[in-house]
Amino acid sequence: MPVSLFIFDLDGTLIDTLTDITNSLNYAFARRGLKNALTEKLVRGIVGEGIGRLIEKAIAREGAAGDGNGQKLAEDLTRDFLAHYRRHLLDHTQTYPGVPETLKGLKGFKKAIITNKRVPLTMKILEGLDLAREFDLVVGPETAGERKPSPEPVFYVLRQLKAKPEEAVVIGDSRFDIEAGRRAGVKCTVAVTYGYGNMQAGSYENKPGGPPVKGADYVIDSIEKLLPTLYKYEPMLERRTAPRD
């Protein structure tokens, strides 16, 4: 069955938000008297599961909950983080190279985002980067009731956009994206290696047309390789007019 729907992760796949997230985390920690600066390298390793898990992991890394008030500290840090992040969503955040062109090249296909970032924040970023018009649906952790790697957000998109799993492609930078897609039974999954999820080509088998494998079906190091890769190996909609190689 031809591909009709592309489901993208957001952070680490379409946009690079690492600096703004790191700055907001450091603001929150400093406001609570925790002076250890979190580096972008450290944050890269803990981002991707939503704000709550990000704060929990940051506290654990910094050993900041040793006084037994971890829950209260997490609540305070989350509140401070969000207050700062809402004001600084687009200070440094930008699309990865080739993203606007790739999305425009998908004219004729349905497109959705599944992110563990809250929808209001996501929409402000998409609007600020002039990407909102490219998507038929944006799904956050509050939308489907569960987060990736649960397949429920994927099932939600399929229902809303009236697509079958075998018509959908899931693209992301982490194992959570790939697992969600596989568990939902989508046509194929694509891992990108440039994001935050440490998805290296050597860690994921890439056997086009072969039997199901544990990792992603395809691994690309640039979003610009998405369409050439899929046109080479997967049935695509004939109304696409871009070159196939």
pLDDT per residue over 128-179, tens digit each? 999 999 999 999 999 988 999 899 999 999 999 999 999 999 999 998 999 9
Per-residue DSSP letter, 37: P
Q: Which CATH number fits domain 5-16+94-233: 3.30.470.10, 1.25.40.10, 3.40.430.10, 3.40.50.1000?
A: 3.40.50.1000
Which of 9, 16, 173, 217 is catalytic? The answer is 9
Query: Max Cα separation, the chain?
Result: 62
pLDDT score recorded for residue 225:
94
**For residue 242, pLDDT beyond 50:** no
pLDDT score recorded for residue 124:
97
CATH 1.10.150 matches 18-87 = yes
| Cα–Cα dist 100/227, whole Å | 13
Q: Which two tokens stand for residue 155?
A: 């099932």
pLDDT score recorded for residue 241:
44
For the chain, the structural domain boundaries read 5-16+94-233, 18-87
- The backbone torsions φ and ψ at residue 68, rounded to the nearest 5 degrees and listed phi first, read 85, 0
Closest by CA to 134, choosing from 168, 110, 159, 114, is 110
pLDDT score recorded for residue 37:
82
Within 10 Å of residue 198's Cβ, how many Cβ atoms?
13
**For residue 243, pLDDT beyond 90:** no
Segment 17-34, tens digit of pLDDT: 999 999 999 999 999 888
pLDDT score recorded for residue 65:
55
Lowest mean pLDDT across 52-56, 57-61, 121-125, 126-130: 57-61
**For residue 203, pLDDT beyond 60:** no
pLDDT score recorded for residue 1:
81
- The backbone torsions φ and ψ at residue 226, rounded to the nearest 5 degrees and listed phi first, read -60, -55
Say what the pTM is: 0.88
Per-residue DSSP letter, 9: -
Confidence band for 68, pLDDT divided at 50, 70 and 90? low
Segment 210-241, tens digit of pLDDT: 434 357 899 999 999 999 999 888 877 554 44
Q: Which two tokens stand for residue 68?
A: 């037994």
* Beta-bridge partner residues of 192: 220
Residue 136 appears among annotated catalytic residues? no
Confidence band for 69, pLDDT divided at 50, 70 and 90? low
What single letter denotes the amino acid at residue 141? P
| Those residues with Cβ within 8 angstroms of residue 164's Cβ, 6 or more apart along the chain or in another chain | 1, 158
**For residue 209, pLDDT beyond 70:** no
- DSSP, collapsed to helix, strand or coil, labels residue 109 as coil
Q: Which two tokens stand for residue 202?
A: 């050597």
Segment 75-127, tens digit of pLDDT: 999 999 999 999 999 999 999 999 999 999 999 999 999 999 999 999 999 99
